[in-house]
């Protein structure tokens, strides 16, 4: 059996005792039926990845000790995903795939044509965390509370490129836009995808008014919002992020 891999809040230091409680304890004790002597991998987004050995499995928790650091913490691409929440399970899939595709922050944004009335942020967080545990990344994306598009644009941090997926517009083809950006040094970036009904003209003008906005086209076919998210994230990782291999140029 492969070693379970869990995200924890606690600091991870050599020979440190640590107890996992709650859902993580239940998962190790009842679902996986692990006991003393079994090992698990732990990460917290700060101290790299560690192996821990279970000393005691009690009714209250899984008591373990950290034995070795398996990987040091390394810098990860600084990529945000802004997306208008969509209906049903596809919104959970977006959080899961964003976790796998190396997004650092997931931001649900409410637009004029967003039809979802309530966003289950806790479920998005759980999906993003499980994806990070499974895909072996060393951090978990932050998932923010939903905010409206106007507020997101109003608070836009200077210098963060916003790749705006602008359907039905004469926007720059995505490959061309990413090739131009790749000539610059690594910059923080974000991608913005609209709802099923698309953006209003006013919203498009608002987003385009940002100095850091780069409107892009994803080709001649109208993609579903979740497809557009996955395509944009994969293309960005290949051109600007850690799919390029070697030193992707991310600062410590």
Q: How far is the CB of 202 from ligand SAM (least distance, A)?
A: 14
Judged by beta carbon, residue 126 or residue 234, the one nearer ligand SAM is: 234
Asked if 223 and 232 count as a contact pair (C-beta separation under 8 A), the reply is no
215 forms part of the interface with ligand SAM (CB under 6 A): no
Under DSSP, the state recorded for 31 is I
Q: Which of 49, 48, 120, 116 is nearest to 84 (CA)?
A: 116
Q: Is 210 helix (H, G, I), strand (E, B) or coil?
A: coil
185 C-beta neighbours (distance < 10 Å), count: 7
- Only segment of 42-50, 127-135, 144-152, 211-219 that touches ligand SAM (CB under 6 A): 211-219
Single residue of 198, 213, 233, 235 touching ligand SAM by CB under 6 A: 198
Q: How far is the CB of 164 from ligand SAM (least distance, A)?
A: 8
In 48-108, which residue ranges form alpha helices assigned H by DSSP?
Answer: 90-100
Judged by beta carbon, residue 111 or residue 127, the one nearer ligand SAM is: 111
Single residue of 124, 140, 193, 233 touching ligand SAM by CB under 6 A: 193
d(CA 199, CA 160): 21
166 forms part of the interface with ligand SAM (CB under 6 A): yes
Residues paired with residue 68 on neighbouring β-strands, in sequence order? 51
222 forms part of the interface with ligand SAM (CB under 6 A): yes
Q: How far is the CB of 176 from ligand SAM (least distance, A)?
A: 13
């Amino acid at each position: 059996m492969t070693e379970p891999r869990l995200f924890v809040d606690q600091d991870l230091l050599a020979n440190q005792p640590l107890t996992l409680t709650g859902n993580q304890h239940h998962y190790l004790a009842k679902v996986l039926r692990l006991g003393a002597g079994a090992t698990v991998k732990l990460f917290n987004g700060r101290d790299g990845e560690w192996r821990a050995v279970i000393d005691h499995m009690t009714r209250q928790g899984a008591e373990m000790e950290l034995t070795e650091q398996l990987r040091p913490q390394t810098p990860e691409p600084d990529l945000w995903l802004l997306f208008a929440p969509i209906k049903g399970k596809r919104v959970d899939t977006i959080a899961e795939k964003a976790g796998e595709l190396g997004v650092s922050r997931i931001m649900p944004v409410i637009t004029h044509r967003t039809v979802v009335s309530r966003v289950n942020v806790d479920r998005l967080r759980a999906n993003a965390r499980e994806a990070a545990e499974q895909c072996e990344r060393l951090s978990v994306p932050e998932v923010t509370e939903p905010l409206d598009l106007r507020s997101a644009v109003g608070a836009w941090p200077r210098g963060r490129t916003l790749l705006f997926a602008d359907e039905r517009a004469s926007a720059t083809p995505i490959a061309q836009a990413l090739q131009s950006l790749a000539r610059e040094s690594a910059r923080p970036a974000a991608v913005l995808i609209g709802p099923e009904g698309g953006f209003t003209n006013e919203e498009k003008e608002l987003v385009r008014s940002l100095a850091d906005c780069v409107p892009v086209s994803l080709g001649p076919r109208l993609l579903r919002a979740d497809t557009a998210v996955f395509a944009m994230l994969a293309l960005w990782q290949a051109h600007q992020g850690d799919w390029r291999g070697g030193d992707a140029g991310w600062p410590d």
